[in-house]
Amino acid sequence: MADAYIIDTVRTPRGRGKKGKGALTEIHPQELLAQTLRELARRTEIDPADVDDVVVGVVSQVGEQGANIARNAVLAADWPLHVGGVSLNRYCGSGLQAVNFAAMGVTSGAQDVVVGAGVESMSRVPMGSDGGEGDGMNQHLRRKHTQVPQGISADLIATMEGFTRQELDAFALRSQRLTAEAQREGRFSRALFPVRDPGTGAVVLEQDEFPRPETTMEALAGLPAAFQAVGATPAGPNGETLDEIALARFPREGGIQHLHTAGNSSGIVDGAAAVLLASDAYVREHGLKPRARIRSMAIFAEDPVIMLTAPAETARKALRKAGMQAADVDLWEINEAFAAVPLQTIRRLEIDPERVNVNGGSIALGHPLGATGAMLLGTALDELERRGLATALVTLCIAGGQGVATVIERV
C-alpha cells in the first residue's frame, strides 16, 4: 500500500456555539470552511487545481449545512470549478473519517492530492436539527435498539467503571489547566488562522474562546448533573424512562449515577479544520516537505446503547494494523466528549495518562462535532514536532456505538 503524506493542517479557532455569545455565530458554515480551504492552499502553496477531491465531515447536514456543504465551500473558496467535494456523517468522528477517506484515496493510487476536512456551526445548526433521532428513527429499529442520549450513556459508563464525580471533575480541571498552559505558550498557533468577516475583512476571532482557565474544583463540584432529569423522562412504549431503557440492556448495574455536568463534558462550539494529503509521487514532483504519514486507520463498533465505549478496541485495531502496541505510541488524542470516555480508554489500554491529551481537549476547548477529528490530528502533529517525538494515535467515540482511530508518524 502506498503512503499518504500529511503536508499540513489548519483550523479556525473554536468559537462559543451559542447565538449572541460566540464570535463565529454570524459566519455562515460554508464561509467558515471556505476560509479554511483558502488558508490551507496559501500555507502549502499547492495549486487548488491539483486537488482531486475535498472530503468533509459534518454532522447536522440540514439547513445551512445541507446541500453538500463540501462542494459549496469549494465554490465559496474560489477554487477551480472542476474540484469536487463530498460531505459525510460519522457523528463525532466525521472530521477524522474525512481525513481517513482522503488518505484511502491516496494510498489506493486513485488520487494524488486530497483534502480531508470538517466543519460544524453548532450555533447556527444546533444538534438534532436533522430530526433523524428519537421519533425520527425507524420504529422497527427502535424496538431492537432503543438508543438513549449520549449523556446517559456517559453516566452509565462512569457507573460501570466506578468513576466518582471527583475523578470526572479532576479530569475536567486537568483539561482546563493544560489548555490554558498551551494557549499561554502558543502551542496551537501553527495550525490556527484568524477568521474574518467576509464583508469587511475584519478579524472576528483569532484564538479559541471557549476555555475557562479560572475553573476550580469547587466550581466544578457545584454544577448540577446535566442528564439526571433527562434520564427520568418517559420514552419507552410502556412508559419506561430513558434510564430504565439503558438499564434494561445492562441490568447488573441496578441504577445509573448521574455524574456528568456541563463542566466535565465537551462544550458546544463552532469551527472548521482541514488536512492536506498527498501521494509520494506528488510530493517528489512538487518538492513538498511532508510533516507526517498516515500509518494506519480503523473503525470498530460496539453496543449502540452504552454507545461511547468503542475507542479502546478501535485503537487496538489501528495498532494491530500498524504493528504497534499501546506503549509504543508517544502521544494520544482521545476526544473528551465526556470525562468518562478518555478515563475508560486509558484504563482499558493501560496508557500512561501523561501521554494523553497533553494540551487539554474538548472539555476545555469545545467539540465542533464534524470538525473535531481533523482538529485533533493537527494538534497531535504539532505537539509531536514540538516535543521531537514520532507517533500519535487519535481516536473518538461516536454515537451509535462506533469508534474511529488513526495512527500518524512523523517523517
Mind telling me the catalytic residues? 92, 367, 397
Helix, strand, or coil here: 132?
coil
How far apart CA 291 and CA 271 sit, in angstroms, is 23
Residue 255 is classified by DSSP as: S
User: What contacts 165, CB < 8 A, 6 or more positions away?
Assistant: 221, 259
DSSP states along 270-316: EEEEEEEEE-HHHHHHTT----EEEEEEEEEE--TTT-S-THHHHHH
| C-alpha cell recorded at residue 41 | 492552499
Are 378 and 275 within 8 A, CB to CB?
Answer: yes
**Which three three-digit cell numbers place residue 248?**
434494561
Give me 312's grid cell: 479502546
Query: From the CB of residue 192, how many other CB atoms can be counted at a distance below 10 Å?
Result: 20
Q: What is the distance between the alpha carbons of residues 209 and 13, in angstroms, rounded to a whole number?
A: 7
200 Cβ contact list (under 8 Å, min separation 6): none
What CA–CA distance (Å, rounded) separates 309 from 123? 28
The residue among 7, 30, 27 whose CA lies nearest residue 370 is 30
| Integer angstrom CA distances of residue 9 from 125, 175, 287, 376 | 25, 22, 18, 10
Distance CA 118, CA 54 (A): 10
Write the DSSP symbol of residue 65: G
CA distance 94 to 372: 8
Q: Identity (one letter) of the amino acid at 328?
A: D
Q: Determine the Cα–Cα distance for residues 113 and 118; give it in Å rounded to an integer.
A: 17
CA dist., res. 309 & res. 334, Å (int): 12
Dihedral, CA atoms, 104, 109, 319, 98, nearest 10 degrees?
A: -20
